[in-house]
Amino acid sequence: MRRATSFTLDAETLSYLRKTKGNRSASARVNDLLKRAMLLEREEQLEEEAAEFFADEGPAERRARKAFQKAAARSLSKD
């Protein structure tokens, strides 16, 4: 569903929009650019969440990871 909305754009953005819209309408070009920006922003958020998740490793997690690595190495060395 499309809804008419009004935004104010700076001159540089408006100039870029006019140069890059091609045969499409300015609204279609703006929608495409916004969708791309939203995807990029979401990717950045996911990267931040992953960094936070892996940064919160405490002593118990480190011990568990090392134990898993040792068990995996022993298992592989038996082959």
57-78 confidence digits (pLDDT tens): 788 888 888 999 998 988 888 7
Q: Are 18 and 30 in contact (CB under 8 A)?
A: no
Give residue 43's domain range: 11-78
Establish if 68 belongs to a structural domain: yes
Asked if residue 27 is part of any domain, the answer here is: yes
The tokens describing 18, both together, are: 């006019």
**Has residue 3 been placed in a domain?**
no
- Is residue 41 one of the residues assigned to a domain? yes
Residue 72 covered by a domain: yes
| Cβ–Cβ under 8 Å, residues 23 and 14 | no
* Gap between the Cα atoms of 33 and 25, Å rounded: 13
Encode 26-60: b = buried (16+ Cβ within 10 Å), e = exposed: eeebbeeeeeeeeeeeeeeeeeeeeeeeeeeeeee
Q: Determine, yes or no, domain membership for 2.
A: no
Q: How many domains does the chain have?
A: 1
Using one digit for the tens of pLDDT, what is the confidence trace for 9-23? 999 999 999 999 999
pTM value is 0.63
